[in-house]
Structures are given as C-alpha cells and as structure tokens.
Amino acid sequence: MPKNNSNHKGALARVRKYFPQVEEVEDGLKPIEVEVTAKDSKSAAVRNHKNALARVRRYFPQVEEVEDGLKPIEVEVTAKDSKSAAVRNHEGCAMAVACKRLTKADGVIVSISTAYIIKGKTATRYSVPEHVQREIVSFDREAGFAEGNYRLIPVEPSARLDEPKPTGPHKVTGKPRRTFHHTAGIRTVLGSENVR
C-alpha cells in the first residue's frame, strides 16, 4: 500500500494509538482464521458464573451457586410491600419485598435489569422486564411503586450464564462511539463500584 494513501495514514494512526512503536501497516494477504475451542467457551461460561456469584455474595455471602431461572415468576406488589420497602435498596425495594414474600425466599436482590432470588445456598437469576424497570425508577425517585401484578422473566438464551460472551477485537467502523444515558437518582448497577 502506498505510504501517501490517506487510508494508510488513518490505519497507522489507529494502530499507533495502542502500539506507538509500529512504523508500518500492511494489508493482510489472506484472512486469519481463529478457532474457538470448547475449552475457550467453557472458560468464558465459568467467568460469567464467577462474576454473577461475586455480585450476589456482596449481599449474601453464604451463596455458593448461581443458576438461571427457566420459568417466569408472577409477583403481586401490594401497598404493604411499598410501605415496608426502602428506596434505592437492592434487597429492600417493593419488588424485592414482594418477591421474598411470594417465593418464601431467604433473600432477593433486585437491580434495574436483573433479579436474584436466594434460597439456601443457591441464587436464581431472572431478567427484569421494562415495565418493572419503570416502576423501579419511579420507586427510587420516591414516587412509589404502583400496586399490581408483575413478572420476572427468564434470562434470554444468549445471555445465560452457560453461554460464552463474544470476545475479541471490536470492529472499527470509523463512526463515533455511541454515548449512553445513565438514569440518575436510582440504585446503582449490581457489580459497580458505587454500591450504596
């Protein structure tokens, strides 16, 4: 590739951002094949499991196993649940209080997107649907949690603990990075450094 080519200069600049010692960038002559082995997949699944277990153990150190829930759970949140609940508290919000009461669990952790129901030494993980997320935001901003029937749903198959997450380099598109809005005034994300 000619050195005066603007694409070449841009590619060289991107590479030097991470590897300043690089002096030349060349086009690859043939594709590189990367084989993902069963061992790689298994180690990624183990990492997913360990991360989930570490999040749960912050609140319930006795938990030894985390599994994904396979069936939805129907939860009825009452006015009593809302009154006995604590704002911005993963273990004590209205949804957590109602889940604990209905499932007769030892404990419940509810974040904005994930819920864990703890029974003995096992935590079962569920996804928090969007309509429940809106109520959590409302509750954490001290506007209350509407009484009614809600459900926690199984985690999508691609996000389950036994599924490896994609790894490797991200595709460089030349487009600016997407910015994300973080909702203020609500509980922290499970696993973040800002646990309240």
Based on the fold, state whether residues 17 and 79 are members of the same structural domain: no
**Encoding tokens for residue 179?**
């910015």
Supply the mean pLDDT for the chain. 81
Residue spans of alpha helices (H) in 19-163: 38-57, 79-83, 94-103, 130-140
- Domain assignment of residue 164, yes or no: no
- Domain assignment of residue 77, yes or no: yes
Based on the fold, state whether residues 2 and 69 are members of the same structural domain: no
Based on the fold, state whether residues 79 and 3 are members of the same structural domain: no
Name the domain count of the chain. 2
Domain of 82, in residue numbers: 38-159
Based on the fold, state whether residues 108 and 154 are members of the same structural domain: yes
Based on the fold, state whether residues 24 and 44 are members of the same structural domain: no
- Residue 1 pLDDT class (50, 70, 90 cuts): very low
Distance between CA atoms of residues 81 and 75, nearest Å: 11
- Region 156-169: mean pLDDT is 73
Based on the fold, state whether residues 77 and 52 are members of the same structural domain: yes
Q: Is 191 in contact with 54 (CB distance < 8 Å)?
A: yes
Based on the fold, state whether residues 22 and 42 are members of the same structural domain: no
Highest mean pLDDT among 7-16, 32-41, 147-156, 182-191: 147-156
- Domain assignment of residue 100, yes or no: yes
Closest CA to 48 of 139, 135, 114: 114
3-state SS, residue 1: coil
Q: What is the pLDDT, as a whole number, of residue 49? A: 84
Q: What is the pLDDT, as a whole number, of residue 195? A: 45
pLDDT(2) > 60: no
Residue 187 Cα distances to 48, 106, 128, 151, 173, angstroms: 22, 21, 14, 20, 34
